[in-house]
Structure 1
Amino acid sequence: MFGEPRRWARRRRRLVDALWLTPLALTCLISVLYYDRPDGSAWPETSVGTVGYVLLTVVLLAPLWWRADRPREVFAVVAGISLLQWLAGFDPIPANMSVLVALFAVAAGCAARWAVAAWLISELGLWLSLARFVDGGTGIANLKGFASASGFVITIAIAGIYVNTRRRYLESLEERAERAERERDQRTAIVAAAERARIARELHDVIAHHVSVMVVQADGAGYAIDGDPEQARAAVRTISATGRRVLAEMRRLVGVLREDDGSAEEYAPQPGLAQLEDLLRQVRASGLPVESSITGVPRDLPEGEQLVIYRVVQEALTNALKHGGPAASAVVEVEYRTGEVVVRVRDDGRGAAAPAGIGGHGLIGMRERVAMYGGAVEAGPRSGGGFQVTARLPVGRAA
């Protein structure tokens, strides 16, 4: 709410500092005009002349321009000038209020010990001024006036300390928010990199399977080329078709960066559409009733696309198990259309907790997988309750 005004004030700090000094500067200007009276009298009585009065006013006000950058040094300079003024016997002038402005700057910008030290020095200066110039110069301080003025000084010091505390609190909030944002971006990048590595491993397994088939067929063709030329030609045709599929999968693999985690993973065939029913049985055994349907004309999809469909269904059902609630049920629909396959997984669970899970690492993985094949994923709460995941996967591009 107040972030934008504070950012504007930081960008124009010098202008804001000048605005804060405007009331004191106007007061001092009026006092200078009042000092040189038309009747020739001067104020205060221990006059140093109009030029000296103006010079003292400028010397007391000028250091305040740097109070935000060097509050302690500015306070020391202003307090020192005021002390020299007292030693010389010159009466206080409105420009001596710069000591209080510098006190506020120290309390607002320095540690508490410096604020206390500046406050004690200000109290001492107040006592010395009252002791000399009050009660006819007898040197006996007016205790009532000192108590009243001291309360004003204490108020300024406390206000500066409050501003300091408030600013540090807001800075800590901004720092925590920025750190949380950086950590979130880092976690997202790590998850995306890990998911790309996982996709690369799975594609590698699919391609390794095709290459293994090609090697076996090539060996068979080599043995049968003399005795059974027809069988050798069939093997060569199989090698050609498998090679085209390998090239298609390799195109998907280009651009996927894989981090070598050094772990030796055992080779295992990757699941596809044929294993969807096994997955549904596992989910039903876990306590989530699942219905499934397949519409359209089924196609012979490449293993990579089958794996994407399998993983989308698996992740969506996993989130339904986690967040759907005890009475939830799910429906899995696979629809074959012209040029694409649409996969829908919806549940009728609570739906309130589902976005937190489905919107995290699971959805990142789905999008990474489907995007590699030019598809898209939509996920969100259903209007009637529950959650739905829809994945659209183009087919036929590999050929």
Structure 2
Amino acid sequence: MFGRLRAWSRRHPRIVDALWLAPFLLISLVNILVIVDSGGSPWGGLNIGPWGFLGLGLVLTVPLLWLRKCPLTVFAIVSLTSFGQWLIGVQPLVFNVSVLIAMYGVASRCLLRWAVAALMVAELGLALSFGRITTDPEPGPFITTSVFVVTVWITGIYANTRRRYLESLEERAERAEHERDQQARLAAAAERTRIARELHDVVAHNVSVIIVQADGASYAINSNPEQARKAMETISVTGRQALAEMRRMVGVLRTDGGTEDYAPQPSLSQLGELMDHVRASGLPVDLRITGAVKELPGGEQLTVYRIIQEALTNTLKHGGPGSSAAVEMEYGSRELLLRVTDDGRGAAAPRSPDGHGLVGMRERVAMFGGSVEAVPRPGGGFQVTVRLPIGETGASRAA
């Protein structure tokens, strides 16, 4: 309820100011009636009559409706009007409290120098009024009223400070919300990039296998139908596997809140299946693991798996007929050394202008503080060397 009331007051500030001024106007009108009934100004100055008093009161109060928007202008109007009232000898009215209200507005909404100037003007007006109203040399009433004026001024300064503090908090909250949204967008973009890299690895590997098997089947369909039939079976299995992995990764991008389960990401425990799949595609490959095997985190296992898959896929695509490959994994105390070599065409192999395999390798390994080197071998072939920190060093670099 209070929140809606506060929101409504922010949307209609002029109405709120009018409601606050209504009691003040009522009391001031009663004061005018009392003065008119008593016969006008007791100082012997100009008797401006009831309509003059009413007009003076309106000039002193109506500008307060614009106090939020133009505090300095409103204070200048009511101060000059009060000074003119003093010059013609019209006694102070309840309407003249508008000077204090305008001073509070200046103190609560303007710079400190303007607030100090408004206080000095209000104190000067108070001194002029007391100098004419009373001949009592005792300074007590003047000091008391002056303290009240200073109290109103200090309250305005406090309101100004608090308002600026709240505005800074709101600005900080908006900035934090903007930064949070920006971080969320960056995280989403990074995740989509990761998924795109996964898709590239899956599609490149499986489509390369399909192309190799399809070429082999087309050559052997007349001379060796059995070999052609096996190649077509491999194409069928590879296509289904690629489709399943693509569905799993594209499913991550779904935003409809579906609850469909997808297969987990591959790990090093599935290296044997990968080797069998590559051999079935027509590329002889040898896997050798040395050193004390260590259990790696899931992210590092996926990185090693994808690098081996990408390197063997490149051999399938560019190695040429009769090529073979070897995968060596050497576990050290702080580092995993991975080598994938082949005896294919090496530097003589054509390069795809839009390939992103090596870039994806470097990005994956860089996340864990490692390095990748992919170079042609002397005498033919190609070698991919990966150094991946493991253990505490790898975990700290990844963090």
**Fold similarity call, TM over 0.5:** yes
The residue that corresponds to 1:329 in the other structure is none
Q: 2:208 aligns with which of 201, 206, 212?
A: 212
Aligned-residue sequence identity (percent) comes to 52
Counterpart in the other structure of 2:36: 36
- 1:315-394 equivalent positions in 2, closer than 5 A: none
Could you tell me which of 177, 182, 187 is aligned with 2:183?
A: 187
Q: Secondary structure at the match of 2:60?
A: helix
Alignment match, 2:155: 159
| Cα distance in 2 for residues equivalent to 1:4 and 1:44 | 49
2:198 to 196, 202, 226: 202
- Residue 245 of structure 1: how far off its partner (Å): 3.6
Question: Structure 1 residues 209 and 98, CA, compared in 2 at 3 Å: closer, same or farther?
Answer: same
- Asked if 1:282 corresponds to 2:295, the answer is yes
**Equivalent in the alignment of 1:67:** 67
Contact 1:130/1:142 (8 A) holds in 2:
no
Q: Which amino acid aligns with 1:61?
A: T
Aligned to 2:104: 104
CA contact (8 A) 2:75 2:102 kept: yes
Task: Verify the 8 A CA contact 2:41 2:90 in the aligned structure 1.
Answer: no
Change (3 A) 1:128 1:36: closer
Asked if 1:132 corresponds to 2:132, the answer is yes
1:82 maps onto 2:91 in alignment: no
**Amino acid corresponding to residue 71 of structure 2 in structure 1:** P
Please report how far the alpha carbon of residue 254 of structure 1 lies from its aligned counterpart in structure 2 after TM superposition.
6.1
* Per-residue deviation, residues 156-188 of structure 1 (Å, max 9, x unmatched): 100001011111111111221121122112111
Of residues 155, 168, 173, the one that matches 2:169 is: 173
Aligned residue for 1:233, secondary structure, equals helix
**Partners of 1:14 and 1:272 in 2: CA distance:** 71
Amino acid at match of 2:230: A
SS at match of 1:42: coil
2:114 aligned partner: 114
Structure with bigger gyration radius:
2
Cα gap change, 1:26 to 1:100, in 2 (>3 Å): same
Structure 2 vs 1, CA of residues 275 and 29 (structure 1 numbering), >3 Å: closer, same or farther? Answer: farther
TM-score (norm 2): 0.60
**In structure 2, distance between residues paired with 1:14 and 1:144:** 38
Displacement of 1:53 in angstroms is: 1.1
Aligned-partner residue type, residue 239 of structure 1: I
Aligned partner of 1:93 in structure 2 is: 93
Partner residue in 1 for 2:221: 225
1:134–1:142 Cα contact (<8 Å) kept:
no
Residue 365 of structure 2 is matched in structure 1 by none
Structure 1: where are the runs of 5+ without partners? 258-268, 285-302, 308-399
Distance in 1 of aligned mates of 2:271 and 2:86: 95
Q: Is the 8 A contact 2:202 2:246 kept in 1?
A: no
**Alpha-carbon contact 2:119-2:150 (below 8 Å) kept:** yes
Unaligned runs of 5+ residues in structure 2 are: 254-264, 273-288, 298-304, 310-399
**Distance of 1:44 and 1:200 partners within structure 2:** 91
Letter in structure 1 aligned against 2:143: A
* SS, match of residue 20 in structure 1: helix
State the 1:44 CA deviation: 4.1
Contact 2:210 / 2:239 at 8 angstroms: preserved in 1?
yes
Question: Using the alignment, how far apart are the partners of 2:190 and 2:11 within structure 1?
Answer: 41
| Counterpart for residue 240 of structure 1 | 236
Deviation at 1:146, TM superposition (A): 1.8
Q: Closer, same or farther in 2 for the Cα pair 1:167/1:4, shift >3 Å?
A: farther
Q: Helix, strand or coil for the counterpart of 2:178?
A: helix
8 Å CA contact 1:75–1:103 kept in 2: the answer is yes
Q: How many residues are matched?
A: 268
Deviations 1:52-102 (A, max 9, x none): 111111111111111111000000010011111111122211111110000
The alignment yields a C-alpha RMSD, in angstroms, of: 3.1
Cα pair 2:64 2:98 within 8 Å, conserved: yes
